Structure formats: structure tokens, C-alpha cells
A and B are shown apart, each in its own frame.
Chain A
């Protein structure tokens, strides 16, 4: 059974690694469209969107923080909890983004 477990571990690692690698390469080479990621649209006109920038920054920071927390755990037996501060920050950040989007879609004329 031990060899089967080893194979499953390697199989999972290769699949995850392959999946992440393919998506990362396609993001970096432009095969996955990232055009206008930080821009919104209002009546067909594009505008630079600060609410998207803050969401991107907090998303990447939150993801990096969590991944580093997992990697630094000496004996990980369960996933670490996300601090409530981060939950609050990301909730606020998402709300800000949604409010900005709703405002440009419905409010601004």
C-alpha cells in the first residue's frame, strides 16, 4: 500500500505542478487574456480603475501570506486559519470593488 500512496502523491504533485505551470506560462505569455485587467468600462469608455488595483494587491498579498504560513508550519496537520484581520481586509476590498463597479454601471451617467 505504501508504494500506491507514493504513486498517488507523485501523481497529484505532477498534476498540480503541470496545471499551475501551464496556467502561469499562458498568463505570462499572453495566451490567457489579461488585457484591461485594471480597467473598468463606463458607457463603452474604458477608465483606469483604482478599486481593481487595490483588490489585485490585497489578493496577491493575502495569497502569498497564506502560502508562506503553510510553508513555515513545522508539522502541518491541518490548514492554518486565516486571521480575522485578513478576512476583514479582503471583505472590505471586495466590497469596494463591487461598489465601484455598481457605481459605474448604474450610477455615473
Chain B
């Protein structure tokens, strides 16, 4: 009978281990998508979800440390205050969801968008440069194409590095250049920045 329990123990250990390894592998390669693990339904990150995650992880890790340090290993008593802590966090999360779902604006998903930074930089004539960056939201590709749609200067179409033109006689500063970042995936999604040349 003892040998049967040992065999069953090893079998369960193997199955659980294999299952854990598969789950971790799929998380790591993105098959299990964690990108919105702590996001609200509208796409913004959620502080109450993050709190629940942090507390759950801390209590789970503490539980593990206490169990493995016991000889023999036994399941410890969980104090009521720890349950209260998790209860506060989970209740807060639930109430937060209730408040959010009470208003349609709280659950509308964000539109796919492209956001340039900085939006209004100032660059000097005669070789001044400005590196633009772009943030894409809910687009399948982060690639954008850069261009100068109005005004002087040029921008690298791939990197977003803007270079001011040389000083030209008769052109009085300030001048303005409009930079566009357009999603390579969806041309209707773009953002503009205005450079002030001095």
C-alpha cells in the first residue's frame, strides 16, 4: 500500500510539474496573453488589479516559504488579519468594477491610436535636431512612417530624427514645421507634432 502511494505521489508530482511548465512556457512565448493582466476593460491599467496581484503574490510566496521551512512540511495556520488584508483588496477590486460598470464611459475600449512625443519641441536653425518617439496603442504593429508635412527641415522616415535646416537669409524666426507619424499598419491612425524653429 505504501508503494502505491509513493507511485501515485510521483505521478501527481510529474503531471503537476508538466502542467506548470506548459503554463509558464505559454506565458513566456505569448500564447497565454498577459498584456491586459492589470488593465481595465477600457484598456487603461488598473491600480486595484495591481494591488490584488501584489498581495496575492506576497501571501503565496510567504506561504511557500513557511511551508518549505517546516520539518516536516505542514500547511500553516493563516491568521485572520492576512485573510482580512486579501479581503479588503478583493472587495476594493469588486467595488471598483461595480463603479466602473455603472457608467458606459468606464468600459469603452480605447481607440487604436498613435501618439507622438514631444508634441511641441523647440529646435534651433542651422543643425538643431530633435528625436521624436511614438507610442502606439492597440495597433497590431508599432511601426510608423515619419514625414514633414509642412514647414522646413527633414525627418528620417524610419527613426523620427528631425533635423532643422540651415539658417536662411531673409527667413525670420520663429518658423514652424509639422511632423507626422503615420501607422504603417493603418494609415488612418497618425499623430502630429509642431516644431518651433528659432
Contact = CB atoms under 8 A, between A and B. Distances in A.
Interface in A1-21: 1, 4-5, 7-9, 11-16, 18-20
Contacts of B76: 76-79
Interface in A45-72: 52, 55-56, 59-60, 62-63, 66-67, 70-71
A102 B99 CA distance: 6
A32 B35 contact: yes
Contact of B102 (A59, A78, A105): A105
Contacts of B89: 90, 94
> Which range contains the number of B residues in contact with the other chain?
35 or more
Contact of B36 (A7, A13, A33): A33
Given A7-B13, A90-B85, A98 B95 contact: yes
B81 A82 contact: yes
A37 B61 contact: no
B45 A31 contact: no
A87 B81 contact: yes
Given A16-B61, A31-B35, A32-B37, A59 B54 contact: yes
Contacts of A80: 79
A49 B48 CA distance: 13
A65 to B, nearest CB: 10
A5 B74 CA distance: 12
Interface residues of A, number: 62
Contacts of A109: none
Contact of B64 (A12, A33, A105): A12
Given A43-B105, A105-B100, A79 B79 contact: yes
Nearest to B105: A44
Contacts of B6: 1, 4
Lowest 9 CB-CB distances: which A-B pairs, in order?
A94-B92, A37-B45, A81-B79, A82-B81, A36-B44, A15-B20, A78-B76, A70-B62, A18-B24
Interface of A: 1, 4-5, 7-9, 11-16, 18-20, 22-23, 26, 31-39, 41, 43-44, 52, 55-56, 59-60, 62-63, 66-67, 70-71, 75-84, 86-87, 90-91, 94, 97-98, 101-102, 105-106
18 contacts: A19-B24, A20-B57, A22-B28, A33-B36, A35-B45, A37-B50, A43-B105, A67-B62, A76-B76, A78-B77, A79-B62, A79-B82, A81-B80, A94-B89, A98-B99, A101-B96, A105-B103, A106-B103
